[in-house]
Structures are given as structure tokens and as C-alpha cells.
Amino acid sequence: SQKIEQNSEALNIQEGKTATLTCNYTNYSPAYLQWYRQDPGRGPVFLLLIRENEKEKRKERLKVTFDTTLKQSLFHITASQPADSATYLCALAGNNAGNMLTFGGGTRLMVKP
Amino acid sequence: DTGVSQNPRHKITKRGQNVTFRCDPISEHNRLYWYRQTLGQGPEFLTYFQNEAQLEKSRLLSDRFSAERPKGSFSTLEIQRTEQGDSAMYLCASSRQLAVSSYNEQFFGPGTRLTVL
């Protein structure tokens, strides 16, 4: 069955450093991979989308890589700030008719001042 | 606010009662999705609509769950005879599907948190 793994342990980093989160998947050939941010008690907020034929995508302090050979995506936040503290979710979608998302369990990021 | 809205934000009910949640998608979005999220997990897909047509419902958790989108705008998710295991956050998302081969990101609402006592 499809499996998406994100580090379930919280990632603690110091303000100003680069945070790197990992998303690994098995038994899946996604056409699209997305990263979402989720704060406690709130819905996920869309951050970045990367397609299977793209290697890297950037938006302001965010960068996503997508390696379909390794079946892995890396999500980077540069110059991290305490306001970046949240849970980050990786979500995959195929080219099926509905493009429904399959999510990983999320990684909690804590940025300390 | 032109984002996805959900009502109510919180619902507490007793086991065996029926509950209904509402989702209003972003106005120009023709696709609407329902997901369920339990504590510490990522959202889990339940069902989706393309306009008013429900095109996938095999992932609904049981026959106690049903969803409608009668006019292709807002949608409702109903859970009949609620059980304690139904306690979770129910999330709605919408997207704009321009063509069969296109893909656009899904935008989520704030969710409805259901607690079944």
C-alpha cells in the first residue's frame, strides 16, 4: 500500500538557521507533491507545489526538491523565525481523475529565538 | 474573507446522534473535497465532488457517512448514529479544475472539530 513517511519527532532549531524537513514515499508514483503548514486547531495552509518533472521550486525563504528516483522530497526554510514554528505536512497526488491528496503524518518544527 | 469556510467550527454530540457539517468553497472552485484528520496524523481523504457530481465515495469510512453538493456550491457531510471513534477534525478543501489534464492546489478550510461523548 502507499506509504508516506515524515519524521514524527519534532525538529528543534535555532532562529536564523535553515530547517530541512524530509518526506519519503513508497509504492507510489505521484505526479504532484505539495507542502502544507498547519497550526494547532487550524486547517492546512498551502505553501508550495512541485510537479514530477520539476527538480526544485522556490518561494521566498522556502525551497522544495523532488527526487522521483529516491522517492523523496526535501523542504527547506532558510533564515528560520519563531513564527515558522508549526507542523509541516507533505501531500502527494497522482494523475487520477480526482487528484485526491495522500498526506504524511507531518513534522513539527520548533524555532527557538 | 474569500477562503474556504466551514460551520460549525466545533460540535459536541452524544453517541448515536446524527451530525451535519457544512462547507462553503472558494466561489470559482468547481472541485470540493472532504478529509478527516485525527490527532497526530495527516488528513485522510473521504470523498470529492466535481461541481454537483460526487465522483469518488469509496473512501467514506462507513455507510453512516454521506455527503452532498446539491447545486455545485456548498457541500454538507452527514454522520449518522455517531460513535466515539468518529471524533476527529473534518476538513473541507476546494480547487479549480480547468481541464482534465490540469492540476491546481487544494485550499483547506479551518475544519470542524467533532467530539462524540
CB B32 within 8 A of CB B93: yes
d(CA B78, CA A19): 40
First and final CA of chain B: distance in angstroms?
Answer: 33
Q: Assess whether pLDDT exceeds 60 at residue A24.
A: yes
Q: Which residue of A has its CA nearest to B50?
A: A98
For residue B100, the model assigns a pLDDT of 65
Residue with cell 530547517: A19
- The pLDDT tens digits of the residues spanning B75-100 come to 999 999 999 999 999 999 999 987 76
Q: Confidence band (pLDDT; 50, 70, 90) for A7?
A: confident
Calculate what percentage of chain A has a pLDDT beyond 70: 99
Q: Judge if the upstream peptide bond of residue A82 is cis by omega within 30 degrees of 0.
A: no
Q: Which chain B residues are closer than 8 Å to A97 by Cβ?
A: 55-56, 100
pLDDT (tens digit, 9 = 90+) per residue, A39-63?
Answer: 999 999 999 999 999 999 999 999 9
Q: How far is A35 from chain B (nearest CA, A)?
A: 10
Half-sphere exposure of residue B28: CA atoms within 13 angstroms, side-chain side: 5
Nearest residue in chain B measured CA to CA from A8: B40
B3-51 pLDDT, tens per residue?
A: 999 999 999 999 999 999 999 999 989 999 999 999 999 999 999 999 9
pLDDT at residue A30, rounded to an integer = 87
Q: What is the DSSP letter of B40?
A: T
- Banded pLDDT at B102 (limits 50, 70, 90): confident
Q: Look up residue B28 and give its DSSP letter.
A: T
Q: Is the pLDDT higher at A3 or at B78?
A: B78
What is the pLDDT at residue B4? 96
pLDDT greater than 90 at residue A98:
no
Look at residue B1 in the predicted model and tell me its pLDDT: 54
Chain A interface includes B49 (CB < 8 A): no
For chain A, say whether B95 makes contact (Cβ under 8 Å).
yes
Q: What is the CA radius of gyration of chain A?
A: 14
What average pLDDT does chain B have?
93
Tens digit of each residue's pLDDT (9 = 90 or more) over A60-88? 999 999 999 999 999 999 999 999 999 99
- Residues of chain B above pLDDT 70, percent: 97
**Contact call for B43 and A100, based on CB within 8 A:** no
Q: Which of A100, A107, A108 to mutate to test the interface with B (most CBs of B within 10 A)?
A: A100
The mean of the pLDDT values for chain A is 93
**B20 vs B59, residue with greater confidence:** B20
B4 touches chain A (CB under 8 A): yes
